[in-house]
A and B are shown apart, each in its own frame.
Chain A
Amino acid sequence: MANERSAYLQSFPLFMIMLIFLVIPTLMIVIVSFWDYNSFSVIPDFIFDNYNFLLTSPVTWQAYAKTLFYAVTSWAITLLIGFTAAYYMAFHLRTTKAQTICFLLATVPFLTSNIIRMISWIPLLGRNGLVNQMLQSLGLINQPLEFLLYSDFSVILAFVHLYTLFMVVPIFNSMMRIDRKLVEAAIDAGASPWQVVTHVIIPLSKSGITIGTIFVFTLVMGDFITVRLMSGGLSASVGLLIYNEISLLQYPAAAAGAVTLLATVLIMLAILFRFANIRKDL
């Protein structure tokens, strides 16, 4: 009995922090999403107008389609690159020292701000940017490639560049926990290297892949600044719509957008968690 009480006592501070900084604000957002507003103030009320407009507007569906497209594409590419990089670090670098050095090198870009790293693509990819200049001087193209900047290509490129590490780290982590004897046993049993990867390593790093997927998905779904800067303002993600509404003081509309986005992301997470029991793997 006393033991139980002390357990409650120990979890109390975290409980309070979550309550004050997560649960209550989220509830506030839910409440405000039913309020009315005009151009300079929000009016306490209970109306479904915000949701009604949100869910029936083609803009929302377009934005969701676009956001999902960005999320899925970035996820597939970061997974491919992240898995390969983690695999190399976990199984081909023999010494811990080499692994540590590699890991540190991968984190170096994080010393610069996210936005700076993203913006630095712009002079590179522009119509008269370095890439086009190089390709033209090599005689590979006659006309500058327009799709390099302010396009879906540049948006996804930036996402992949920014978020691949969030894939590498958890996958590397779960790979390091794979018992090497299992790999040896597979080889002894006559498995080809490809079979080792598909039958042993991928199933055993599933939790890492799931965590990485959660990172990339939630980051891309909520992003607005990358989409705005890299698409030149030509495409809109869900986050960008919410941001636009906030900046125009339309808090109830923005809150409705946020609640819908939150619900979408939670549903996606629920599906993802079916694939891996993270609690067991941690």
Chain B
Amino acid sequence: MVKDKTKENSRISRRKFLGTAAAATAAVAAAPVITGFPTVWAQNIKNIKLRQFGTGTASVNAIAQKVKEDLGFTVEMTALDSDSVVQRAVTQPNSYDIADIEYWVCKKVYPSGVIQPMDTTRIKLYDKISPLFKTGKLNSGSKLAQGTAPHTVGFVEHPKDRRFASRETRWMTLIPTIYNADTLGIRPDLVGRKISNWRDIMDPAFKGKTSILNIPAIGIMDAAMICESMGVIKYGDKGNMTRDEIDKTIDVMKKAKKEGQFRAFWKSFDESVNLMSSGEVVIQSMWSPAVTAVRAKGVPCKYQPLEEGYRAWGGGLGIARHLSGLELDAAYEYFNWYISGWAGAYLNREGYYSAAPETSKKYMTADEWGYWIEGKPAKADIVSPDGAVMEKAGAVRDGGSYEERMGNVACWNSVMDENKYMIRKWNEFIAS
């Protein structure tokens, strides 16, 4: 016990020493130009390079370019698939400075100690961040959704804690950047009837023409939405199932697979786009921008709002433990910039949502804001961030406004207590 304490102390003092040393170096370097916070390190700012990695959804080069223009330093983006993101985050913590990870992944990644929580007092626009990430409720009236909701893994009591805090604190694990509500995508020209429930994917009329995604942690949630909608299982908490609930869910899916209900299972964004646009499937679980991508090919596709509500996900940026000094300052500067509007507007235009919705308003035209956020019909053509026409004038966004979508979340992507068991059962389903 005593021994442990000394160890702890020496570690703190070493860290303290390093921190002081770094601060001193920064101060010396910056001495000639003390005019304001960002310029304090204006001298060597250009040499700073932050290595960010994450899924292709948020780690986009357009954002890195804009950071270079606005802030002067370089953010190097690496895009990986969701599974590789977890692996890299946990196993190679020195290979990145900023991890762009999803909240359900955070539940796995943060306890492994590779992410340092950030001080919210250094986030200037903290107040503008959507309450979804602080309390889990979009507005006072909305219900708390099941699953790994961002606010449940968003805070820790103390920067050294490996456990999550149950309430909003000064220390945030990830700074939220992007989120969305997922539902089923359909081919309105091929389904031939109204789709209004998750269970419709199991309709024998669509035999051999349906698909769900094969990312276990997300797929099981879609499966749960389907089973609950079919009325065969009543879950205590879809986001944290018991073994019995997992067994039942997988049995339902196995049976459907045996009967030839599914045409394929997809794992990446592109696969889902191809399945839909080639007509291999007519109804499948899908991500909103994938629906847009199908439509951009001239193929009709609808992001179908369903009675049971949406399955939501969110992502954010975390700072690697090893980051300190000037680079840590740059990271904070980057986060402040991220929620100040431009990036949010970019993400909104891609069909996702910005973590600080208000700030992005001034970077969007009134028409864009009306279409993407308020659910109003577009007055002019809606153009994607890279200039392609996505929707003709008069179109209305599927699922309606931001409030309607995010206010109707049934569950969040999650990591369950029985995660290990769930994954074994999921593999059984895929191999069956």
Q: Does B424 contact A (CB under 8 A)?
A: yes
Bound-state CA distance A233–B281 (Å) is: 14
Contact among B84, B274, B278, B419 for A39, CB-based, below 8 A? B419
Question: Which residues 416-432 of B sit at the A interface, judged by CB distance below 8 A?
Answer: 419-420, 423-424, 427-428, 430-432
**Which secondary structure dominates chain B's binding surface?**
helix
Q: Does B208 contact A (CB under 8 A)?
A: yes
Pairwise interchain contact A40-B87, C-beta atoms closer than 8 A: no
Give A248's nearest chain B residue, CB to CB. Answer: B423
Contact among B112, B208, B279, B415 for A41, CB-based, below 8 A? B112
Q: Does B108 contact A (CB under 8 A)?
A: yes
> Mask for A220-234, Cβ within 8 A of B = 1, else 0?
000000001001111
Known: A128-B279, A150-B264, A234-B257. A40 touches B111 (CB 8 A): yes
Give B105's nearest chain A residue, CB to CB. Answer: A40
Known: A126-B278, A232-B264, A234-B264. A39 touches B431 (CB 8 A): no
Bound-state CA distance A26–B90 (Å) is: 22
Bound-state CA distance A38–B108 (Å) is: 10
Which residues on A sit within 8 Å (CB–CB) of B274? 122
A-B contact number at CB 8 A: 90
Pairwise interchain contact B280-A247, C-beta atoms closer than 8 A: no
Pairwise interchain contact B420-A39, C-beta atoms closer than 8 A: yes
Q: Does B109 contact A (CB under 8 A)?
A: yes
Closest Cβ–Cβ distance, residue B235 to chain A (whole Å): 20
Which residues on A sit within 8 Å (CB–CB) of B101? none
Known: A127-B280, A150-B263, A246-B87. A59 touches B431 (CB 8 A): yes
Which residues on B sit within 8 Å (CB–CB) of A63? 431
Q: Does A249 contact B (CB under 8 A)?
A: yes
Pairwise interchain contact B84-A57, C-beta atoms closer than 8 A: no
Which residues on A sit within 8 Å (CB–CB) of B108? 39-40, 249
Question: Which residues 253-267 of B sit at the A interface, judged by CB distance below 8 A?
Answer: 257, 262-267
Bound-state CA distance A195–B415 (Å) is: 65
Pairwise interchain contact A236-B278, C-beta atoms closer than 8 A: no
Known: A40-B90, A248-B83. A127 touches B266 (CB 8 A): no
Bound-state CA distance A41–B211 (Å) is: 32
Q: Does B378 contact A (CB under 8 A)?
A: no
Give B209's nearest chain A residue, CB to CB. Answer: A127
Which residues on B sit within 8 Å (CB–CB) of A41? 90, 112
Pairwise interchain contact B427-A244, C-beta atoms closer than 8 A: yes
Which residues on A sit within 8 Å (CB–CB) of B305? none
Closest Cβ–Cβ distance, residue A14 to chain B (whole Å): 30
Bound-state CA distance A122–B83 (Å) is: 24
Q: Does B242 contact A (CB under 8 A)?
A: no
Give A63's nearest chain B residue, CB to CB. Answer: B431
Pairwise interchain contact B264-A233, C-beta atoms closer than 8 A: yes
Q: Determine which residue in A39, A129, A231, A241 has the highest number of CB atoms from chain B within 10 A of its CB, and name it.
A: A39
Pairwise interchain contact B420-A126, C-beta atoms closer than 8 A: no
Closest Cβ–Cβ distance, residue B374 to chain A (whole Å): 37
Closest Cβ–Cβ distance, residue A45 to chain B (whole Å): 15
Question: Which residues 113-148 of B sit at the A interface, judged by CB distance below 8 A?
Answer: none
Contact among B87, B208, B266 for A146, CB-based, below 8 A? B208
Q: Does A88 contact B (CB under 8 A)?
A: no
Pairwise interchain contact B278-A127, C-beta atoms closer than 8 A: yes
Bound-state CA distance A58–B250 (Å) is: 15
Pairwise interchain contact A249-B428, C-beta atoms closer than 8 A: no
Contact among A57, A128, A146 for B278, CB-based, below 8 A? A128
Bound-state CA distance A250–B83 (Å) is: 12
Which residues on B sit within 8 Å (CB–CB) of A247? 83-84, 86-87
Q: Does B314 contact A (CB under 8 A)?
A: no
> Mask for A9-30, Cβ within 8 A of B = 1, else 0?
0000000000000000000000
Bound-state CA distance A249–B87 (Å) is: 6
Q: Determine which residue in A41, A66, A122, A244 has the highest number of CB atoms from chain B within 10 A of its CB, and name it.
A: A244
Q: Does B216 contact A (CB under 8 A)?
A: yes
Q: Determine which residue in A66, A127, A231 has the highest number of CB atoms from chain B within 10 A of its CB, and name it.
A: A127
Which residues on B sit within 8 Å (CB–CB) of A122? 274
Pairwise interchain contact A232-B112, C-beta atoms closer than 8 A: no
26 contacts between A and B (CB under 8 A): A40-B111, A40-B112, A59-B432, A66-B431, A126-B280, A128-B278, A129-B278, A150-B263, A150-B264, A228-B267, A231-B264, A232-B266, A233-B264, A233-B265, A233-B430, A234-B257, A235-B431, A241-B427, A244-B423, A245-B427, A246-B87, A248-B86, A249-B86, A249-B91, A250-B420, A250-B423
